[in-house]
């Protein structure tokens, strides 16, 4: 596997795991201010991020590259309000999108076309990632910090569920040697 592309993919594994770390930090903050629905939504988001990292890690392995784990930066743990936290989440997702786009660009330049094809899933996923964070920002702006509106929103956020992606479930339950 092309060294520059491999380094960038390993960097993306780190960024996805940082995303999980950031969303767990935000989930903890939400629980601390009595918003269990927001907490759950963010816990599910963190699980999705672990899946994003897993999928990249597996791809690197399959391509016979070497997955190399780097230290994960400590995320912030405090925000002034749920709105501030979700604005930070939206800004973070925009950074993730830029990072994915840069790797697609690099992989195309280096003629790593399998990586270009693989990353299309992330390109599409980032549209959803940005849209879902932004939707929560807009809802929080509408609620305007009013207690009752926030409580209703919290109930809605609690409905988010995590379905273990088929590919991950199949890989884990297949046992040794399955690829
Ligand atoms: Fe992995 O998409 Fe969010 O960060």
Ligand 1 center to 7 CA (angstroms)? 18
* 82: number of Cβ within 10 Å: 24
**Chain CA centroid to CA 176, Å:** 27
Does the C-beta of 93 come closer than 6 Å to ligand 1? yes
In terms of Cα–Cα distance, which of 119, 123, 127, 129 is closest to 55? Answer: 119
In terms of Cα–Cα distance, which of 28, 38, 22, 43 is closest to 143? Answer: 38
Ligand 1 center to 130 CA (angstroms)? 9
pTM of the model: 0.94
pLDDT recorded at residue 177: 59
Ligand 1 center to 148 CA (angstroms)? 30
pLDDT recorded at residue 29: 98
d(CA 137, CA 169) in angstroms, rounded, equals: 32
pLDDT recorded at residue 125: 97
Q: Which atom in ligand 1 lies closest to the alpha carbon of residue 16?
A: 1
Q: Which residues contact 72 (CB under 8 A, 6 or more apart)?
A: 14, 17, 18, 21
pLDDT per residue as tens, the chain (179 positions): 999 999 999 999 999 999 999 999 999 999 999 999 999 999 999 999 999 999 999 999 999 999 999 999 999 999 999 999 999 999 999 999 999 999 999 999 999 999 999 999 999 999 999 999 999 999 999 999 788 999 999 999 999 999 889 988 898 888 765 44
CA distances from 106 to 17, 20, 35 (A): 22, 25, 41
CB 60 within 8 A of CB 9: yes
DSSP letter at 132?
H
pLDDT recorded at residue 123: 98
């Amino acid at each position: 596997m092309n060294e520059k592309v491999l380094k960038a993919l390993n960097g993306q594994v780190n960024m996805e795991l940082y995303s999980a770390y950031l969303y767990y930090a935000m989930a903890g903050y939400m629980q601390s201010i009595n918003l269990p629905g927001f907490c759950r939504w963010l816990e599910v988001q963190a699980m999705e991020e672990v899946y994003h990292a897993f999928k990249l890690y597996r791809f690197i392995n399959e391509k016979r590259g070497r997955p190399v784990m780097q230290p994960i930066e400590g995320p912030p743990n405090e925000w002034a309000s749920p709105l501030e936290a979700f604005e930070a989440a939206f800004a973070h997702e925009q950074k993730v999108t830029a990072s994915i786009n840069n790797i697609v660009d690099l992989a195309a330049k280096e003629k790593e076309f399998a990586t270009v094809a693989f990353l299309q899933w992330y390109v599409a996923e980032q549209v959803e990632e940005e849209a879902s964070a932004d939707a929560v920002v807009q809802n929080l702006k509408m609620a305007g910090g009013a207690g009752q509106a926030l409580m209703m929103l919290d109930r809605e956020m609690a409905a988010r569920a995590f379905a273990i992606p088929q590919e991950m479930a199949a890989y884990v339950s297949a046992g040794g040697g399955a690829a």
